[in-house]
Structure 1
Amino acid sequence: MRFNKDKEVSKKRIALLISAMLIFIIFSAFISVKLYPLIIAIASSPEKMMEFKAWIESYGIWGGVMLMTLQVLQVIVSVVPGGPVQILFGLIYGTWKGLLLSLIGMTLGSVTVFFLVRAFKYKFITMFMSKEKLDEYRFLKDSPRLEKILALLFLIPGVPKDTLVYYVGMTDLNIKKFIWIVVLMRIPSMMFSSFIGNNIGMGNMMSSFLVLSALCLAGLAGMVYNRCFIKKSNEKSAYQQVM
């Protein structure tokens, strides 16, 4: 009798956990979709950025918590682009503090995705991306160079890193290595975004424009490289399976 009662309690806990996760995911998606136009508008207007900065600063420490929560949601839902959010961190808190807070939010979001994928596997991933998009990274599944490839992809600008985080959860990579790769390799691009925001806040619009232009060009080059790399890797993987 006690065994059956414990089993029922366990099922109820699992059902409660799943329900809580689903509510959080739905809420995150709703908030991200609603905030998308706002973030784009703020990022494209220095005047609105300064208004937003004053609004966040009026909340003190909770303003930072709000922005980090937005960064977490951005990683989980991947609807709000990461760049504008990181620029906002630099605008409000400066290059280095903004980078640190943005990294904390990005890491929390990435780890959340990692464990959700481990818990719910394929069904969870397909809630946020199509099967075709997921299949692009199938070559990573059995790659003996998984860590090196991931480090390269997370370092290169223009690679859809938040999408990649979902797939990594399906590999055998452990959480410690996952965190090191995701955090360390994303620092350069996040630092540049934070630097741009800081310069906008100080009124150095020309410096911001030049760095942003260089970052966009690097992103375009990275996108082209990523497409070629994915195509070549999948063709190689398919050939090895046939052989």
Structure 2
Amino acid sequence: MTKKRKILKVATLILAIILCAFLTIFVLVPFIRLLMTDEGRIYIQQKVESFGIFAPVLYIVMEMTHIILAFIPGGPVEIIGGVLFGAIFGLILCEIGICLATVIIYNLVKKFGRPLVNAFVSEEKFQKFKFLHDEKKLELIAFILLMIPGTPKDVLSYMISLTDIKPIRFYFLATAARIPSVASSTLMGATLSKGKPIITAIIFLITAAIGITGIFLNNYITAKRSDKQEIK
């Protein structure tokens, strides 16, 4: 890795940390505090309603942004969707954002190629998922990886876009595969907005347990596929 690229990687990481810290301190924490009171929940609802039809549009843009930038955590954004729009409508808006972001990522990667992917994917991670380029069952493997909790789904979207996967099929499987994880997040947000923190905590613990299992499963799948590729 060249010195210039190392500096760019470090600068990107620092920017991501600053952005996440800013969003947590000035957006997420005050937002959660409002949710803890009836007055706060009414205030949030009134604010959303004041935007009218633009509220869902702005939220879809927010969902697209965190996916395209890749380093912004998606969980809090999807939980906010559940808070603002409920479990079902929040899920629908998230899925629209995911589909549109996937279309943008795919076409950007096809236009700019590996240099664009390198901005979001480390060499280590690229090598870990290199088997995607030689996978005969690419669509099935891509769907499974995007569905498993704990996998870097936004980063995977960039990497899968480098393969020969057909665009329409990729848009569909990338959107469908993320339904379970998004549904759990919007459900957490919906229960939180209704003043049911215990139910929210239970959903969070179940999701976290599934996520940890997913991380191990993801590591197992990538290790097995990498070993097969080396043997070939």
* TM-score, scaled relative to structure 1: 0.80
* Residues 1:147 and 1:210: Cα distance change in structure 2 (over 3 Å): same
Q: For 1:165, which of 154, 157, 161 is the aligned residue?
A: 157
**Structure-1 separation of matches of 2:141 and 2:169:** 13
Change in 2 beyond 3 A, CA 1:225/1:210: same
d(CA) in 2 for partners of 1:131 and 1:186? Answer: 25
Percent identity (aligned): 27
Letter in 2 for 1:90: G
1:82 aligns with 2:68: no
The structure number with the bigger radius of gyration is: 1
Q: For residues 1-243 of structure 1, what are the structure 2 equivalents within 5 Å?
A: 33=19, 36-37=23-24, 38=26, 40-41=28-29, 45=33, 46-47=35-36, 50=41, 52-240=44-232
Answer 1 or 2: higher relative contact order, Cα 8 Å, separation at least 6: 2
> What 5-or-longer segments of structure 2 have no aligned partner?
1-11
AA of the residue aligned to 1:86? E
Structure 1 residues without counterparts, runs of 5 or longer: 1-25
**Which whole-Å CA distance do the structure 1 matches of 2:90 and 2:113 have between them?**
33
TM (normalized to structure 2)? 0.83
Aligned residues: 212
CA contact (8 A) 1:94 1:197 kept: yes
**Whole-angstrom distance in 1 between the partners of 2:176 and 2:143:** 9
Distance 1:56-1:78 versus aligned 2 partners, 3 A rule: farther
| Aligned AA (1:102) | C
Q: State the distance in 1 between where 2:44 and 2:216 align.
A: 34
CA RMSD of aligned residues (A): 2.3
Instruction: Give the Cα–Cα distance (whole angstroms) in 2 for the partners of residues 62 and 192 of structure 1.
Output: 25
Structure 1 residue 56, shift from structure 2 partner: 3.3
Identify if the C-alpha distance between structure 1 residues 216 and 111 changes in structure 2 by more than 3 Å, giving closer, same or farther: same
